[in-house]
Structure formats: C-alpha cells, structure tokens
Amino acid sequence: MQLSRDRSIAWVPMVDGIERVGVMRVAGTELGEDVLEVCRTLASLATLVVISKAAHNDVLVIRIRTRPMTLQAELLWAFLPPRTIGTSQATSTAVLEPAYDIGGDAFDHSFSDGTLHLTLLDAMGHDLASGAASATGLAACRSTRRAGGTLPDIATTIERTLEQWIPDRLMTGILAHLDTHRGEFAWINCGHPPPLLIRDGHVVPGALERPAQLPFGLGFHNTSPPPLHRARLQPLDRVLLYSDGVTEARSATGALFGEDRLADTVIRSMASGSTAPEALRRLVLDLLTHQDQRLHDDATILLTEWHPTA
C-alpha cells in the first residue's frame, strides 16, 4: 500500500491469491490505520467481485482493456485459465504477450489430486488458424487428462486432433506433470525450447535438456508418442517454461534477448522479494524495452515453484 504525504490518498493493491489484479484508490481527509484496515478489506471484496463477474460481464471486461482484441486473441483467452494458481505445495504463474494480438501461443495449468499439470503450446503462424490450433490443442489436452490419460496419451491425442481438423499446421509444445508431494517432474517436449531449472538463485546447466523430438502436426506421434522424461526437484526449485518469442526477441541492433537474460531477470526479481507474478511482469517490461515496445512474436512464460510444506 502507498500513501500520499498528507495521508489523504491511499493506493491499495487488489490481490487475488498472490497475483495483483489492480489497485484501488481511496481518498479522505486523513487516513488513519483503522481506516486503512477497512480499505484493505474493501479492496479484497472488490477483487472477488471483479474476478467472479469478469467472465460474464462485458462492462468490466471493457473497463479492464485498453484496446480491442483480435479475433484469435478472443478465441484463445476464452480457453486460457487464470494466470496464477497455487496451493501450499506449489505455485504456477504465466504471462502471455502481446495480450491483444496473440498468434499461436497458449498455456494451461491445473491441480488434480496432488499433481500440477502444465502445458505450453506454440502453433505456427499469427492468424486465426494458429489460435484455433492452440485452442484445439488445449481442448485435446484437457479432455484426455480428465479422462485419466497420461502425458503420452495427451501427446497422441493432440497429434491426431490436429491431423483431422487442422492439417498442415505445425505446433511445438511441452506437456508436464509435477508431483507436488514427492517433487517428481515429468515432461514431454515436442520441438520446444527445453525447460530451465532454477535452484538456489542459479540455472542448473542442462538439467532438463533432453534429445529433441519433432513438433506436433507431422503425424509422427500418432502411433509412437514422444518419450517421457523425469527429474527429481528439490524444495524451492523453480521450473521455467517459455516460447521462442522470448529468447529470440531482437533489439534494434539485432541482439537477441537470450536465455541468460531471461533467467537472470527472473532470478533477480524473485531475489529482491517479488512474487512470481511480479517477477514475470518485470520480465515482460524488460522484453518490451529490448524490442522498443513492440513484440514481433508471441512471448509466453510459465514459472512453477515447488515449495512443499513438509
């Protein structure tokens, strides 16, 4: 919370879980601690109203947005989950930019019976078909997962679905599960940049790199799903998934944003006390600054932290 010098104005964070969704401005003659406590409660209540109503109240949606969305962005945001979810065992948060003009990036995360499921997809192109491919990929993932399917089953379903309904559209992706009790991280990588493992404030070199597999859309995963990889995490480990629109972002001089700068920005932000959503916001700001405030490709980042209570 921030106060003006004369304590007549306060800016109170509106927080959903650990994610800041906005700020409430309060004005009065002099805001004492008792009034500020009431303001915090009111900000929490306002947050609940916004979160619960935004999905089916166009007035709130229009107020939140700064400009119209493209058709493919509307399609994908209808499928995407909340940007931050968490339990006492693990937290997952994601960002997707540019939010109003998404091409083919999409993410998903959800908890089920002690398991955190993670998905990051990147469909070829920047048109409506790209958005449809990613949305279809998410639907295939959720349908198979909720029917009891494994990660290889999900990969096969995505491949067959693309082949049947959106042929000739390539899509890279990572499908992963985190056992939030034991810390076992299992994943499948189809043509996507490998995940990064952040431990004790440093990236563990090559910890989650495995032989590259072909992307979805070529038909190779129909009968032979890609291999499932496993790694054991340590408490407070973080796993960072990202699309190539992050590391391949170029400055006016042609310099790549790169993997090192990606990891360093997240590590420094969280070391300074920022929550995961705030760390990713800072990363997006750095990425926009690097590209002179204009992204030329979708940039998606998904950060997961395992923080077991035992």
Say which amino acid occupies 202. Answer: H
d(CA 247, CA 287): 9
**Amino acid 75: pLDDT:** 83
By the 8 A CB rule, do 215 and 171 touch?
Answer: yes
Query: Based on the domain organization, do 84 and 31 belong to the same domain?
Result: no
Give how many domains the chain has, as a whole number: 2
**Amino acid 310: pLDDT:** 57
Query: Based on the domain organization, do 232 and 302 belong to the same domain?
Result: yes
Query: Based on the domain organization, do 51 and 188 belong to the same domain?
Result: no
Distances from the Cα of 100 to the Cαs of 65, 66, 72, in angstroms?
9, 9, 9
Query: Based on the domain organization, do 60 and 207 belong to the same domain?
Result: no
Query: Based on the domain organization, do 194 and 53 belong to the same domain?
Result: no
List CB contacts of 273: < 8 A, sequence separation 6 or more: none
d(CA 309, CA 307): 6
Please say which residue of 18, 43, 64 terminates a domain: 64
Q: Could you list the pLDDT tens digit for every one of the 310 residues in the chain? A: 888 888 889 999 888 876 778 899 999 888 888 889 999 999 989 888 887 777 778 887 777 777 788 888 888 888 899 889 988 899 999 998 877 777 789 999 999 999 999 999 999 987 888 888 999 999 999 999 999 999 999 999 999 999 999 988 999 999 999 999 999 999 999 999 999 999 998 999 999 999 989 999 999 998 889 999 999 999 999 999 999 888 888 888 888 998 888 889 898 888 888 888 888 888 888 888 888 777 777 889 999 999 998 5
Query: Based on the domain organization, do 28 and 143 belong to the same domain?
Result: no
Q: In which element (H, E) is residue 16 found?
A: strand 9-16
**Amino acid 152: pLDDT:** 96
Please say which residue of 14, 37, 64 terminates a domain: 64
d(CA 61, CA 96): 17
DSSP H helical segments within the chain, as ranges?
Answer: 33-53, 58-64, 71-79, 128-146, 151-165, 244-247, 258-271, 276-290
Query: Based on the domain organization, do 121 and 185 belong to the same domain?
Result: yes
> Which domain does 16 fall in, by range?
2-64
Query: Based on the domain organization, do 57 and 82 belong to the same domain?
Result: no
Residues 60/76/148/91 CA torsion (nearest 10 deg) = -60
Query: Based on the domain organization, do 105 and 201 belong to the same domain?
Result: yes
Query: Based on the domain organization, do 108 and 51 belong to the same domain?
Result: no
Query: Based on the domain organization, do 41 and 77 belong to the same domain?
Result: no
By the 8 A CB rule, do 284 and 276 touch?
Answer: no
CATH number of the domain within which 173 lies = 3.60.40.10
Please say which residue of 46, 64, 82 terminates a domain: 64
